[in-house]
Amino acid sequence: MGRTGLEQAALALWPRLSTIAGVPAEGYTPRLLAWRDEPDRRRIVLELTAPGQPPLVLKLAPLPADPALFAGSLAAQQAALRAMGGGVPQVLAALPESHALLMERVPGETAAAVMEQATRPEQLDDALEACGRWLAWFHAATDAGMRAYRPRAVCDHLARQRDAVAAGRRQVPLAREFIALSDRVIAEGARYDGLPASAGGRHGDMNLRNLMLAGDPPGQGGVWGLDFAPAQSAPVGHDVARLLLNFAVTCTDPEQIPEGEVLPPRALAAFFRGYVFSGPEDASIGFLLRNQIIADWARIPAAAAKSDLLQQIRLAALRAIARRAFPDLR
Ligand X SMILES: Nc1ncnc2c1ncn2[C@@H]1O[C@H](COP(=O)(O)OP(=O)(O)OP(=O)(O)O)[C@@H](O)[C@H]1O
The residue from 13, 21, 57, 289 that contacts ligand X (CB under 6 A) is: 57
Residues 6+ apart with CB under 8 A from 155: 185, 186, 189
Query: Rounded distance, CA 119 to CA 47, Å?
Result: 28
Contact 122, 216 (CB under 8 A): no
In the complex, what is the shortest distance from the CB of residue 14 to Mg ion, in angstroms, rounded to a whole number? 21
Contact 289, 237 (CB under 8 A): yes
User: Considering only 29-37, 174-182, 244-252, 276-284, which stretch makes contact with ligand X by CB under 6 A?
Assistant: 29-37
- Give Rg (Cα) of the chain: 21
Nearer to Mg ion, 219 or 225 (CB): 225
In the complex, what is the shortest distance from the CB of residue 205 to Mg ion, in angstroms, rounded to a whole number? 6
Q: According to CB under 6 A, which residues from 70 to 109 bind ligand X?
A: 89, 103, 105-106
261 in contact with ligand X (CB under 6 A): no
Query: Rounded distance, CA 283 to CA 189, Å?
Result: 10
Query: Rounded distance, CA 49 to CA 61, Å?
Result: 21
* Sites of contact with Mg ion (CB under 5 A): 210, 227
Judge residue 282's burial from the number of C-beta atoms within 10 Å of its C-beta, 0-12 exposed, 13-18 middle, 19 or more buried. buried
Question: Could you say which of ligand X, Mg ion, none residue 316 binds, taking C-beta under 5 to 8 angstroms by partner kind?
Answer: none
Nearer to Mg ion, 231 or 325 (CB): 231
Nearer to Mg ion, 105 or 323 (CB): 105
Amino acid present at 229: A
Nearer to Mg ion, 227 or 296 (CB): 227
In the complex, what is the shortest distance from the CB of residue 284 to ligand X, in angstroms, rounded to a whole number? 23
Note the residues at the interface with ligand X (CB under 6 A).
33-34, 36, 43, 45, 57, 59, 89, 103, 105-106, 110, 209-210, 212, 226-227
